[in-house]
Amino acid sequence: MKHRTFFWFILPTALAMLLFIALPIVSVVTQSLFTPHEQVFKTVESCTPFKCTEATVIDTEATEALREESPLGRFAGLSIYLDRGHLATAEVAEAWRSSDGLKDFFNKLGNLPFYRAMSFTLTYTFVVTPLLIILGFAIAVAVNSLHRHLKGLVIFFSLLPMIVSPLIGSLVLFWMIDSRGVLGTALQWLFADPNLSLKASTGLTWVMLIVYGVWHSAPFAFVVFYAGLQTLPQDTLESSMIDGATRWQQTRYVVIPHLMPLVTFVALIQLMDNFRVFEPIVGFNASAHATSLSWFIFNDLGGETRLLSSASASSVLTILGVAILLSPVLIRTWRDFNEKG
Amino acid sequence: MFLKKAALASVLALTAGGAFAECEISARVNIVGNEFPAIQTIGAGAKECTGAEVEANLTADHQKINLAGMTGNPAEYTSAIVANSSIVALMNDDVIRPLDDLVAEYGQGLKKNQLITIDGKVMAVAFMANAQHLVYRADVLEQVGVEPPKTYEDMLAAAKMIREQGIMEHPIGGAFAGGWNLAQEFTNMYIGMGGEFFKPGTAEVSINNDAGIASLEMMKALSEYMNPDFLTHDSNATNAEFRAGNVALMNMWGSRAATMTEAEGVSDEVKAGFAIAGPMTVGGGEVPATTLWWDGWTVAKNISDEEAASTFIALTHAIRPEILNEETSLQAVWLIDGYEPTAAATGVFEAATANAVPYPMLPFQGLLHTALGAELTDFMQGKEDAASALADVEAAYVAAAKEKGFLQ
């Protein structure tokens, strides 16, 4: 392609990416480096239906003057990234100095919001992603061997978890596993423990969220693999049969190698998605046991006083986290591409 | 379609009779507010006004959109319906206007105690009051032979008896869900223990003290008698537990009292046994362990004077004494002239007469509330002791307050 043609060809995409991807990232990074001005207080009398009292309020005129001087706020550098709500460098250093042994250190680390969120998010990501790939692959192979009259129906039902919106799906499950819900009661009966509650224990809440994650995302892997199976080279398959390959050997040496690029694709997308785990935490009301960076952003912006800088810093950390997670896969793809080229 | 609606509206207006006072406005009105029956009554009342368009966006997510919708110039919303906690965010960002001249011109019908005055300026007009107080099952308490508890210590004693006699396994209910609800319960308890949240006149938090620890210990003791899922139960879920007959004692919002047992499938036993009492005290304190709340409306700053006047007229119309009837009287504890307290309002009235404290209207209280909601869950699960949980809260608050410029 001529450079000129290529330029005009790529221009609309490049513009859209600049507008909808690059600029928002620049904006988020900028916001995370600035914080609001120091607030000027004054004490005044305030009267409610109940009584009058002395109250502290913000002197809006004085604050407005400050704001006009520098509309972006105070330059904070990386201080938001390093504060207790995020990387908590000072607290981590203190924990390192004052702890006796690694176990104590990790306990103290688990008390800091960012590291607690990371421990859940990474566990979730690295358990859910492989499980959903295996499950999705198993469903795809099973459906592919069904009689064609049955296929349509089974495909529809297999896709249901993905069709249900995540928040609704998690709410449905939330009520079912309630200690008075149908699954919760069934588990109590099964384990003969009337006080068993999935929602009250951190470990069981994690298990529940992971099961939900696999249930919700497996259909995505299934659809992709099922599409891949339709392009399976029949010649190779037949020749392997002639060579006397068993069903397992056919799957292992013909089907899986053929689908490998798709596995990379699904892994990429799902690593990214699972790292941003959010809806199930809200749907399951699980914030007491499990949090994630996305939930931080929600929490910072949902309170009565909004923390924009803190939310921006969490967003940037999410972007960095995704980049780190994806880097091995991306590097591999890049190397493969170069080898072929 | 429009004609049909117009015809229908006029028929409705006519059949409703002359009770409708005149309400003529000349500019647009757009209200954002929470969604519960009393506020829907207000929204419908404002929409009776003619002459210009009146819109109302009533949603449980109002706090997420009201500030953004009032920051622009001209503002999208001409009014936000707020409570004592949520007005603070609007005042911090200076998006609502003082109402003194509007009150003088159009607000003759308003009572003095409806006017929320800050620094000598009227910033909001309150129309209802709310508070958390005790609701209980009179039949169950009778069965074990105790009076309705006046203190949290009595509540624990009663719960112990109910459990020991095998009537209920988890007799206490409470909105202890991690986040806003849990923070609210701590706020109640801490006030009941006589604690002060901040060093006077500053934004420096001071809750890691005896009152704070005693508050947490009491919350932990209560949770022993709660459904094990208590950290996921908000007021909707506790309400459902009460309706299902699983709970005999709980601290509940007055605004829910009227509809507490009004739902399909609530047994007659629960309906007949349902009773309301005032808020409880704790730790021998005088002040009840609860907070008083008001709900009221504001007028945006970044709109024309004509729109502000129209908004004020429409909302004053919506809270005129004539709106009170059998149905609306039950919806809230109204601060409107001529309101006769119903049985459902007993709890809130007792809270007010027992000198309960209003929820603090400090610019930084919201940050502390968020920190409490996120950091107290470890203690409630028994993973941490009370003092270190409170130290965590203070540390989380300090980080947020520094960012916001409340602390240096």
pLDDT digits (tens, 9 = 90+) for A58-88: 888 888 888 888 888 889 889 999 999 899 9
If you count them, how many residues does chain A have? Answer: 341
**Spatial distance between the Cα atoms of B336 and B110, rounded to a whole number of angstroms:** 8
Share of chain A above pLDDT 90, in %: 47
B contacts of A307 (beta carbons < 8 Å): 367, 400, 403-404
Nearest beta carbon to residue B363 from set A57, A84, A299: A57
Q: Show me where the domains of chain B are located.
A: 19-129+293-342, 131-291+351-404
Q: CA distances (Å), A89 to each of A84, A94, A116, in order?
A: 8, 9, 14
CA distance B309 to B304: 9
How many Å apart are CA B50 and CA B30, to the nearest integer? 14
Q: Are residues A126 and A173 in the same domain?
A: yes
Q: Which of B229, B228, B251 is nearest to B239 (CA)?
A: B251
Where residue A125 sits, what CATH number does that domain have?
1.10.3720.10
Q: Does B387 touch chain A (CB under 8 A)?
A: no
pLDDT of residue B35: 85
Q: Return the pLDDT at B21.
A: 59
* Coil, helix or strand at residue B116: strand
Domain shared by A127 and A200, yes or no: yes
Whether residue A310 and residue B403 make contact (CB cut-off 8 A), yes or no, is: yes
Residues A85 and A182 both lie in one domain? no
Q: Do A76 and B403 touch (CB under 8 A)?
A: yes
The letter for the amino acid at B41 is T
Distance (Å, whole) CA B354 – CA A304: 28
Tell me the C-alpha distance between A154 and A144, whole Å: 10
Q: Are residues A64 and A125 in the same domain?
A: no
**Do A53 and A167 lie in a common domain?**
no
- Tell me if A210 is assigned to some domain: yes
- All residues at 6 or more sequence positions from B33 whose CB lies less than 8 Å from its CB, including other chains: B39, B42, B43, B56, B57, B58, B62, B80, B81, B82, B297
Instruction: Decide: pTM greater than 0.95.
Output: no
For residue A237 the two structure tokens come to 């398959």
Task: Output DSSP code: residue B163.
Answer: H
The vertex-B53 CA angle with B50 and B57, nearest 5°, equals 120
The count of domains in chain A is 3
Q: For residue B167, which amino acid is it? A: I
The verdict on residue A107 lying in a domain is yes
Token pair, residue B120, equals 């000598």
**Cβ atoms of residues B249 and B277 within 8 Å:** no
CB B49 within 8 A of CB B313: yes
- Please tell me whether residues A176 and A285 are part of one structural domain: yes
Query: Is A44 in the same domain as A158?
Result: no
Residue A3 lies in a domain: no
Residues B261/A15, Cβ–Cβ less than 8 Å: no
Separation in Å, CA B60 to CA A42, A249, B81, B372, B385 = 32, 57, 12, 22, 34
pLDDT for B13 equals 43
Residue in B126, B234, B370 closest to A299 by CB: B370
User: Residue A199 and residue B232: Cβ atoms within 8 Å?
Assistant: yes
DSSP element (H, E) containing A196:
none
CA–CA distance, B315 with A329 (Å, rounded to integer): 59
Q: What is the pLDDT of residue A281?
A: 92
Write the secondary structure of B355-395 as one string of H (helix), E (strand) and C (coil). Answer: CCEECCCCCCHHHHHHHHHHHCHHHHCCCCCHHHHHHHHHH
Q: Does residue A87 lie in a domain region?
A: yes
Q: What is the pLDDT of residue A181?
A: 85
Among B287, B403, B407, most A C-beta atoms within 10 A, so best to mutate, is B403
Report the residue of B229, B293, B335, B380 to disrupt the A interface, i.e. the one with the largest count of A CBs within 10 Å. B229
The pLDDT assigned to B18 comes to 39
Which residue is it, tokens 């599409």? A227
Nearest to B98 by CA among B112, B113, B117: B117
Partners of B297 in the β-ladder: B81, B125
Within 154-183 of A, beta carbons closer than 8 Å to B belong to 178-180
Does residue A67 sit in the same domain as residue A129? no
Angstrom distance (rounded) from CA B331 to CA B38: 5
Instruction: Determine phi and psi for B33, rounding to 5 degrees.
Output: -165, 175
**Residue ranges with strand state E in A271-312:** none
Residues 341-370 of B with CB under 8 A from A: 352, 358, 361-367, 369-370
A314 to A114, A298, A318, B110, B156: CA distances (angstroms) = 9, 10, 6, 46, 42
* A91 and A193 inside one domain: no
| A279 is a domain residue | yes
Is A160 in the same domain as A197?
Answer: yes
pLDDT score for B15? 41
Residue B300 phi/psi, 5-degree rounding, is -65, 155
The CATH H-level (homologous superfamily) assignment of domain B19-129+293-342 is: Periplasmic binding protein-like II (3.40.190.10)
Give me chain A's average pLDDT, please.
89
- Yes or no: say if B231 and B381 are a contact pair by the CB < 8 Å rule: yes
Chain B hits for A51, Cβ within 8 Å: 358
Per-residue burial over A240-263, b if 16 or more Cβ lie within 10 Å, else e, is beeeebeeeebeeebbeebbeebb
Residues A321 and A204 in one domain: yes
Q: B131-291+351-404 domain in CATH 3.40.190.10?
A: yes
Residues 297-316 of A with CB under 8 A from B: 299, 301-307, 309-310
Q: Both A211 and A97 in a single domain?
A: no
Q: Are B31 and B57 in contact (CB under 8 A)?
A: yes
Whole-number pLDDT of residue A58: 84
Mean pLDDT per 10-residue segment, chain B (408 residues): 49 42 88 90 93 91 87 93 90 91 91 87 93 95 94 96 94 92 95 93 92 96 93 88 93 87 88 94 94 94 94 94 88 87 88 89 91 93 92 94 89
Q: If DSSP codes are grouped into helix, strand and coil, which group holds residue B189?
A: helix
DSSP class of residue A36 equals P
Average pLDDT over residues A176-181: 84
Predicted confidence at residue B16, as pLDDT, reads: 42
Residues 6+ apart with CB under 8 A from B1: none
The Cα–Cα gap between B387 and B392 comes to 9
How much is the ipTM here? 0.83
Q: What are phi and psi of A337, to 5 degrees?
A: -60, -45
User: Does the fold of domain B131-291+351-404 match that of domain B19-129+293-342?
Assistant: yes
Interface of A with B in 221-240 (CB under 8 A): none
Instruction: Using alpha carbons, list the distances in angstroms from residue B236 to B85, B168, B173.
Output: 20, 20, 11
pLDDT digits (tens, 9 = 90+) for A98-142: 888 888 898 888 889 999 999 999 999 999 999 999 999 999 999
Q: Does B113 touch chain A (CB under 8 A)?
A: yes
B53-91: b or e for each residue (b if 16 or more CB lie within 10 Å)? ebebbbeeebbeebbebbbeeebbbbbbbbbbbbbbbbb
Q: What 8-state DSSP symbol labels residue A254?
A: I
Is residue A266 in a domain? yes
Q: Can you name the residues that pair with A31 across neighbouring β-strands?
A: none
Question: How high is the pLDDT of residue B255?
Answer: 84
If one counts every other C-beta atom within 10 angstroms of the C-beta of residue B206, the result is 16
DSSP of A60-110: HHHHHHHHHH-TT-EE-TTHHHHSTTTT-HHHHHHHHHH-SSHHHHHHHHT
Closest by CA to A113, choosing from B57, B164, B199, B399, is: B399
The percentage of chain A sitting over the pLDDT mark of 70, rounded to a whole number, equals 99
Comparing alpha-carbon positions, the chain B residue that sits nearest to A178 is: B229
Q: What is the pLDDT of residue B332?
A: 86
Query: Among all chains, which residue has been given the structure tokens 């859910």?
Result: A128
Chain A residues in contact with B231 by the CB 8 A cut-off are 199-200, 285, 288-289
- A60 touches B at CB < 8 Å: yes
Q: Please name the residue of chain A whose CA is at the shortest distance from the CA of residue B334.
A: A49
Q: Which residue has the higher pLDDT, A48 or A271?
A: A271
Buried b (16+ CB within 10 A) or exposed e, A111-125: bbbbbbbbbbbeebb
Q: Which domain holds residue A51?
A: 36-73
Dihedral, B238, B239, B245, B251 alpha carbons, nearest 10 = 70
- Is the CB of residue B96 less than 8 Å from the CB of residue B80? yes
Q: How far is CA B24 from the centre of its chain?
A: 31
Q: How many CB pairs under 8 A join A and B?
A: 173
